[in-house]
Amino acid sequence: MSDCIFCKIIAGQIPSRKVYEDDDVLAFHDIHPFARVHFMIIPKKHIASLADAGPEDQAILGKILLLAPKLAQEQGLEGGFKTLVNTGRGGGQEVFHLHVHVFGGGPAA
């Protein structure tokens, strides 16, 4: 997906503040945070949205959700955090590469 911003971030063509990376997923801070801590976890595979995920994506979706509390704690959200997955234009999705927002810790500075 050559025109996908998040694929470009995965490829290192656009810089990001990384939180975590392995062979399957990347987590990085949102450029416009709406909380003191706000990062996103994305699959390295281009999946446009949750509505475009299929049974073959079950493992990666589970991996992303299981990573959320671990990374949230590492980022200082010991007391808890929120998750958000905007899906489709009607769901407020702006970047069409599946991402799970993880945020908390009060309003952004």
Say what the alpha-carbon torsion angle 92, 94, 95, 101 is, to the nearest 10 degrees: -50
46 binds, among Zn ion, ligand 5GP, none (CB under 5 to 8 A by kind): Zn ion
Give DSSP secondary structure letters for the chain. Answer: -TT-HHHHHHTTSS---EEEE-SSEEEEE-SS-SSSEEEEEEESS----GGG--GGGHHHHHHHHHHHHHHHHHTT-TT--EEE---SGGGT--S-S--EEEEESSS--
7 binds, among ligand 5GP, Zn ion, none (CB under 5 to 8 A by kind): Zn ion
Q: In the complex, what is the shortest distance from the CB of residue 5 to ligand 5GP, in angstroms, rounded to a whole number?
A: 5
Q: In the complex, what is the shortest distance from the CB of residue 2 to ligand 5GP, in angstroms, rounded to a whole number?
A: 15
Q: Which one is catalytic: 38, 46, 97, 99?
A: 99
3 binds, among ligand 5GP, Zn ion, none (CB under 5 to 8 A by kind): none
Per the annotation, the verdict on 99 as an active-site residue is: yes
Binding mask 35-64 for Zn ion (x = CB under 5 A): -----------x------------------
The residues annotated as belonging to the active site are 99
